[in-house]
Structure 1
Amino acid sequence: MAIKKAYIIDRVDWQGDPCLPLTTWSGLQCNNDNPPRIISLNLSSSQLSGNIAVSFLNLTAIQSLDLSNNELTGTVPEAFAQLPDLTILYLSGNKLTGAVPHSLKEKSNSGQLQLSLEGNLDLCKMDTCENKKRSFLVPVIASVVSVSVLLSIITVIWRLKRGRLNVSLSSLVGLSRKELSLKSKNQPFTYTEIVSITNNFQTIIGEGGFGKVYLGNLKDGRQVAVKLFSQSSRQGYKEFLSEVQLLMIVHHRNLVSLVGYCNEHENMAVVYEYMANGNLKEQLLENSTNMLNWRERVQIAVDAAQGLEYLHNGCRPPIVHRDLKSSNILLTENLQAKIADFGLSKAFATEGDSHVITNPAGTPGYIDPEFRASGNLNKKSDVYSFGILLCELITGQPPLIRSHQGHTHILQWVSPLVERGDIQSIIDPRLNGEFNTNCAWKALEIALSCVPPTSTQRPDMSDILGELKECLAMEMSSQMSMRNSVKISLVLDTNMAPNLR
């Protein structure tokens, strides 16, 4: 295989023919054609470097290609748009440059291609990418940057000497209200503006222990969600500070975006982007009018995994969410999932820390039993919660299932069904059997791998994300095969119809 040679991929199981006699190469799937052809290739986090090899374009039957989180450079080949069956293309987390080909953006915008490009800092995603003349600007910019860097260094040294530089999220939370004014002179919103934005708090769109969430409208026409914190809770103030400080420095397509905040006397509010489809918990309720299909559920799982994987492995030091649950997964108009509510989140003091001792917190049903017993918080505590969340998506059941005998945990409910191999009884019955059985079993296996009682037995979020992407590719491949079968059937019916005389 030319790709193996181009990137010197050294995998023990990448030997012989990738598809014959059976597909044994990790991260690779083949179809059942004669001869079989590669339809899915996952090379994420494989330390690939250099340009995107032309060999990828020879995979004419490819449906899913994941090259994320590598060291790839150069431009995105426009020829990707010519691959007829390509529906998933992940290129995020590389060092790609230039402009995104217009043909790829068109396929992405029309829903034909799921395109992921975030994390390529020098890649131009705009509709028009002008090639600026830099012969004159480069020396000027270099001079300005040099002066700016010098001034920044001097400022940092001065502030360090004066002890005024807040360097971590964890160091912020323990300080007093006066010490943590969040630079109130520069706060984006006054309380009067918050009242105006929400039309005097007219429309409630959510509620929790912190307070209420209101629908708001900015002057530029954008809709926003305004979380108003309770004035009486000291813990509420800590959560407010934690959430604002974290969202000011953490940015990802699968984390809810901060628009602004208000910290005026006793009035505390956080202003977010508005999520038109509410939260995942609402979508999974029995009386929900918008039933999520199987592919949408798997895509939501991938989105949530991407956001959590970024918090764990993309942030330095790592951040643990601590309250991952379906009501904290918000959905855009297009059902893109974003993790929200960072009030309980913890950042490790240093990148090398493996855990932090803290009071158990979270929501019953989702809390890691090891964390609840020991108070030792680590990334695997979030992994447990993610496993419960994935079980919810698969089964449509809440983490604590109410019955006449009381409450049954979702893991206790699903275990005997797994032992019997009864996948039909496990999957949400409202799907009416419209799912790929292999994909469903794989999703369930991923969920159960997240929930062993001992944290060391749980996988890292990067591994979970890779498995879920394969699961999504499997489902999309199944859907495409079904569509092709229908087309063939229609053509045959047409050709075999009797001629009118």
Structure 2
Amino acid sequence: FLSLSVSFSSRTQSETSIHQYLVEEPTLSWSPPSTRASEVVRSANVSHCELQVEIGRGFDKLTSVHLARHTPTGMLVTTKITNLENGNKECLKVLQKAMILSHFFRHPNITTYWTVFTVGSWLWVISPFMAYGSASQLLRTYFPEGMSKTLIRNILFGAVRGLNYLYQYGCIHRRIKASHILISGDGLVTLSGLSHLHSLVKHGQRHRAVYDFPQFSTLVQPWLSPELLRQDLHGYNVKSDIYSVGITTCELASGQVPFQDKLKGPPYSPLDISIFPQSESKMKNSRSGVDSGIGASVLVSSGTHTVNSDRLHTPSSKTFSPAFFSWVTLCLPKIPITVPVNTYFT
């Protein structure tokens, strides 16, 4: 289902240096190394950002996300604005980590921040405009009954590449879900949501497991792995992200978040089989491997995209191949994941 060939070669910067970035104090203002695309929006001048419309909220509703225009160049950008006075000490610490890590990582499938600056008590973050928003926004707007296998594969391909990059540095994302997978106008997929990322590296040593159990919002619990939810002495590692990838796969395929009803109903049960498709469900397993397919008529112009509703529709009944179900089974085993992590990235 998801064929991905990546290299596990060593990087220029060591895991120890990443750990250093995780614990050191950030500078008050910084900009990433210049590139041809980002050079035009590096100036920390708030008057150069003309806010167009609010397109979302983030960071537990503390951050407003806007489509903006960089007036000197006319480029469309994404602007995140956070009132630092509204956040408690823990929130500010998490936000601080996200800013540092977004500056440190350099990969096409990891969300880039072009520049970060403050205006009074307001933190402004300028990043590339992702014309199609997040995968969850695509689900709500165009695919309420789930996406086709082809589209899911293309989205997960980019997301897993970004996840593999984080794994090279011994980092656990801990927030993999459709709303943290962003898609640009030309189809580039990037991972966002680095605020809860955690490193396996401590005092220069890479550990097999970590025992950091933050107070996650109830809203994110359906994507968390059983070992992370258990909060026991076994801890967890990068394989917990693989479980989240499996849940995200189900989310993209069905248009629904697995276990979401459990947050208001019976006690949470990670292995509740009721969320898996049965033989007569809309999501059918087929040995023929026939895919439902989607149309490709999508235009991006002036910050909005126009979709040909006749082509971009969701069939009432979808068929997924055995390879698709094998992928989900691999990510969501009924016992703790014991296969090598490399299996998921090859």
TM norm structure 1:
0.51
**Residue type at the aligned position of 1:355:** A
> Does the residue aligned with 2:175 lie in a helix, a strand or coil?
coil
Hey, what's the Cα distance between the residues in 2 that align with 1:453 and 1:168?
36
Query: Is 1:223 aligned to residue 84 of structure 2?
Result: no
Query: Is 1:303 aligned to residue 183 of structure 2?
Result: no
CA contact (8 A) 1:189 1:262 kept: no
CA contact (8 A) 1:240 1:268 kept: no
Spell out, residue by residue over 1:284-329, the C-alpha distance to the aligned partner (whole angstroms, 9 max, x if none): 126559984431211111111111111112x2xx111111111000
Give the match for residue 258 of structure 2.
399
Give the match for residue 182 of structure 1.
27
- Pairwise CA distance, 1:345: 1.0
**Residue type at the aligned position of 2:99:** V
**Residue type at the aligned position of 2:138:** Q
RMSD: 3.8
**Residue type at the aligned position of 2:276:** S
Spell out, residue by residue over 1:179-203, the C-alpha distance to the aligned partner (whole angstroms, 9 max, x if none): x45143879554xx23541x2x441
**Residue type at the aligned position of 1:69:** S
| Equivalent of 2:239 in 371, 380, 387 | 380
Higher helix share: 1
Give the match for residue 326 of structure 1.
178
CA contact (8 A) 2:69 2:77 kept: yes
- Pairwise CA distance, 1:346: 1.3
Hey, what's the Cα distance between the residues in 1 that align with 2:117 and 2:256?
37
- Seen in structure 2, the aligned counterparts of structure 1 residues 385 and 186 have a Cα distance that, compared at 3 Å, is closer
CA contact (8 A) 2:146 2:252 kept: no
CA contact (8 A) 1:369 1:453 kept: no
Query: Is 1:259 aligned to residue 120 of structure 2?
Result: no
- Seen in structure 2, the aligned counterparts of structure 1 residues 195 and 338 have a Cα distance that, compared at 3 Å, is same
- Pairwise CA distance, 1:366: 0.5
- Pairwise CA distance, 1:369: 2.0
Q: Unpaired runs of 5+ in structure 1?
A: 1-41, 45-65, 71-92, 95-118, 122-164, 173-179, 467-501
Give the match for residue 307 of structure 2.
none
- Seen in structure 2, the aligned counterparts of structure 1 residues 238 and 302 have a Cα distance that, compared at 3 Å, is same
**Residue type at the aligned position of 2:229:** R
| Equivalent of 2:329 in 423, 430, 448 | 448
Query: Is 1:370 aligned to residue 227 of structure 2?
Result: yes
Q: Unpaired runs of 5+ in structure 2?
A: 33-41, 286-290, 293-312
- Seen in structure 2, the aligned counterparts of structure 1 residues 442 and 422 have a Cα distance that, compared at 3 Å, is farther
| Equivalent of 1:356 in 200, 207, 210 | 210
Hey, what's the Cα distance between the residues in 2 that align with 1:235 and 1:300?
32
- Pairwise CA distance, 1:253: 1.6
Listed as ranges, the matches of 1:79-478 within 5 Å are 168-172=20-24, 180=25, 182-184=27-29, 190=44, 193-194=45-46, 196-197=48-49, 199=50, 201-208=51-58, 209=60, 210-218=62-70, 219-231=72-84, 232-233=86-87, 234-263=89-118, 265-285=120-140, 288=143, 292-313=147-168, 315=169, 318-348=170-200, 349=202, 350=204, 352-360=206-214, 361=216, 363-374=220-231, 376-402=235-261, 406=265, 412-415=273-276, 417=278, 420=279, 424-425=283-284, 430-432=314-316, 437=320, 440-452=321-333, 454-457=335-338, 459-460=340-341, 462-466=342-346
- Pairwise CA distance, 1:425: 4.2
Hey, what's the Cα distance between the residues in 1 that align with 2:109 and 2:145?
21
- Seen in structure 2, the aligned counterparts of structure 1 residues 294 and 166 have a Cα distance that, compared at 3 Å, is closer
Could you say which structure has the greater relative contact order, defined with CA pairs below 8 angstroms and 6 or more residues apart?
2
Hey, what's the Cα distance between the residues in 2 that align with 1:389 and 1:167?
28
- Seen in structure 2, the aligned counterparts of structure 1 residues 369 and 453 have a Cα distance that, compared at 3 Å, is farther
